[in-house]
Structure 1
Amino acid sequence: MENKSLMIRPMHREEVDIAVEWAAQEGWNPGVNDAACYATADPTGFLIGFLGEEPIATISAIRYDDTFGFIGFYIVKPEYRGKGYGIQIWHAALKYLEGCNIGLDGVVEQQANYQKSGFQLAYSNLRYEGVGGSDVQADAAVVPLSDLSPEVIEAYERPFFPVQRPLFLQAWLNQPHSHALGIMKNDQLAGYGVIRRCQNGYKIGPLYADNTELAERLFLALKSRAASSQPVFLDVPEVNTAAVALAEKYGMTVSFGTARMYTQKAPELPLDRLFGVTSFEIG
């Protein structure tokens, strides 16, 4: 049967929930508030493709500014795969991000297809799965991020992402069913992290710290916010061997992996201080 053209348009806010629901069906385990947070990053960057009245394809193409964008939620309903519909919405996303260095976290088996569109591998990310709870005592250096000014947090965040994204950051740090914690050293913020409720358990992300010892203390404080019966996930750049060792020290095992790829030169990020990725969907 000849393929029909998709009708592709930006999603309405409530349609972002469709992308998150489909991501859950793919086993990607999104957070329960991800749709609301992601929508703040670029309200027109979520695209949906229809055949008639039926939505059959989604993609997010977050244009943070004129230099950097990120692709995620690239999903076609299973019964419509292999029919040429996915490539239509893919091209729409690339057109929307024209002129940007574009990043994505792709499933490893799709690397070759992304390379055809000009993406090159920067490094791999690994999703580690463990459990919540903690046997350690409360750490006096760990504080709620709400105790700190947005300016202090944004200044600490700045090196870890290619561009500033203050609206998304505020939404992410203040989402329901989450804990955002910082760790102080010499009265200065020396790391922070967020743990949020997901459809299955909790995810920690981001997890930033000035060194491995601080990252471990922060990780334990975040992990303790989930019950010991709950699964906890941490997405780490494989190139940060200290982050990999930290996850494995606490009995976490790899459950998933992605290829972080860019269309231009990979941004220079402090990967040795990046112990947990914020999001595979929007970077």
Structure 2
Amino acid sequence: MSPPQDQDYFALRSPLHTPGLRVQQAGPDAWQIVEKWAAQAGHNPGTGDFHHVWNLDSDGCFIGMLGDQPVSAISVINYNNGYTHLGSHLTAIKDPGAGIRLDTMRVAIQHAGDHTIGVDATTQDFNFYQLAGFIPAWRTIRFTGPVPAEPPMHDHSCTNITIPDMREMAILDAECVLDTMAGRYQFALAIATAPDRHTLVATDRTARLRGYGVLRPAHHGYRIGPLYAQDPRAATALFDALCERAGRLGAKTITIDIPETNHDARDLAEHRGLSHLGEATRMYWSGRVEPRPADTRIYGLTSFETG
């Protein structure tokens, strides 16, 4: 029988409703299970993404247990500027009324303290988070499709990253996501430099950095993200160069998550033959950091788990 769909039931500070549920911090080995759940749920995460999530805040990854069986998970990633991002909010068993997921979040969300909390809620989960008190801010559109066969030529140079590029890349990531370097520097570089990642920087004719993008393997095809650029021309050059790299790697499909408010990014994806696959809504809950709109330099989100 489903529980009542009202604000009192979904209140995050109310008692647990699932008998026997034990929510505990998860180590990296246990967290590999969550990546399998995400793939089975059709989220198509980047291969190895959850390792980087765990490294970002190792105290913020939780698994729910019923007896010896893992049944649920959530990541509650704290940044140093008073912001927390929820992700990997999954269950491995049928969960009528979302009671297990809700109780898992009730326990784990204590890790956020008094931070503002953000989440990228899928269409199916929108009402769940809204009833829990989250307020919608903006949408992200997921585009996917065949890798473009012959990317055009551009007047921006796209090259592999070098050590001097790395600080500027990390600063750009922080500016687009948090307005501060707090908690993102090592994560941004890890996402860009892991062995299975392909990262390119765009420069103009004076060798100034205009953006960068990361191509990474996913459970289905390849993903582009993050993709940050100071202008549409740099973004287009990066996107096409990354697609060309994906084609050389044998990829058949490419996926990218684009803030709805970035019309240039949406036009680029559509002009390159990608289709609207799904969407998520960025939502925020209380705290002391004001929610902010998507930065116009975001042409591709890093992940729904980290913002």
TM norm. shorter chain > 0.5: yes
**Contact 1:66–1:99 (CA<8 Å) still a contact in 2?**
no
Matched, 1:32 2:47: yes
**Count of residue pairs brought into register by the alignment:** 282
CA 1:84–1:268 in 2, change beyond 3 Å: closer, same or farther? Answer: closer
**Contact 2:148–2:273 (CA<8 Å) still a contact in 1?**
no
The counterpart of 1:254, out of the listed 276, 285, 296, is 276
Q: Write out per-residue CA displacement over residues 171-227 of structure 1, whole angstroms, 9 at most, x where no aligned residue.
A: 101122221111012221111110100111000001111111111111000111112
The counterpart of 1:181, out of the listed 200, 206, 227, is 200
| Structure 2 SS opposite 1:193 | strand
The counterpart of 2:171, out of the listed 143, 150, 155, is 155
Q: Percent identity?
A: 29
Query: What displacement does 1:233 show?
Result: 0.3
Query: Take 1:153 and 1:8, find their aligned partners in 2: how far apart are those partners?
Result: 36
| Structure 2 SS opposite 1:32 | coil
Query: What displacement does 1:98 show?
Result: 2.1
CA 1:133–1:269 in 2, change beyond 3 Å: closer, same or farther? Answer: closer
**Contact 1:159–1:269 (CA<8 Å) still a contact in 2?**
no
Query: What displacement does 1:110 show?
Result: 2.2
Structural mapping, 1:184-203, within 5 Å: 184-185=203-204, 186-203=206-223
**Contact 1:5–1:85 (CA<8 Å) still a contact in 2?**
no
Amino acid at match of 2:292: P
**Contact 1:207–1:278 (CA<8 Å) still a contact in 2?**
yes
- Structure 2 unpaired stretches of 5+: 2-16
Amino acid at match of 1:275: Y
Query: What displacement does 1:158 show?
Result: 2.5
Amino acid at match of 2:187: F
Superposition RMSD in Å: 2.0
CA 1:138–1:145 in 2, change beyond 3 Å: closer, same or farther? Answer: farther
Number of the residue aligned with 1:46:
61
The counterpart of 1:55, out of the listed 34, 50, 70, is 70
Number of the residue aligned with 1:273:
297
Query: Take 2:59 and 2:49, find their aligned partners in 1: how far apart are those partners?
Result: 16
CA 1:269–1:85 in 2, change beyond 3 Å: closer, same or farther? Answer: closer
**Contact 1:134–1:220 (CA<8 Å) still a contact in 2?**
no
| Structure 2 SS opposite 1:170 | helix
CA 1:110–1:36 in 2, change beyond 3 Å: closer, same or farther? Answer: closer
**Contact 2:216–2:222 (CA<8 Å) still a contact in 1?**
yes
Query: Take 1:158 and 1:77, find their aligned partners in 2: how far apart are those partners?
Result: 33
Stretches (4+) displaced over 6 A:
none
Query: What displacement does 1:3 show?
Result: 3.9
Amino acid at match of 2:166: P
Query: Take 1:30 and 1:86, find their aligned partners in 2: how far apart are those partners?
Result: 20
Structural mapping, 1:102-181, within 5 Å: 102-136=117-151, 141-162=157-178, 163-164=180-181, 165-181=184-200
Query: What displacement does 1:267 show?
Result: 2.4
Amino acid at match of 2:62: L
Query: Take 2:133 and 2:161, find their aligned partners in 1: how far apart are those partners?
Result: 39
| TM superposition score normalised by structure 1 | 0.93
Q: Write out per-residue CA displacement over residues 155-184 of structure 1, whole angstroms, 9 at most, x where no aligned residue.
A: 222311114311211210112222111101
**Contact 2:217–2:223 (CA<8 Å) still a contact in 1?**
yes
CA 1:137–1:248 in 2, change beyond 3 Å: closer, same or farther? Answer: closer
**Contact 1:133–1:226 (CA<8 Å) still a contact in 2?**
no
Query: What displacement does 1:251 show?
Result: 0.7
- Structure 1 unpaired stretches of 5+: none
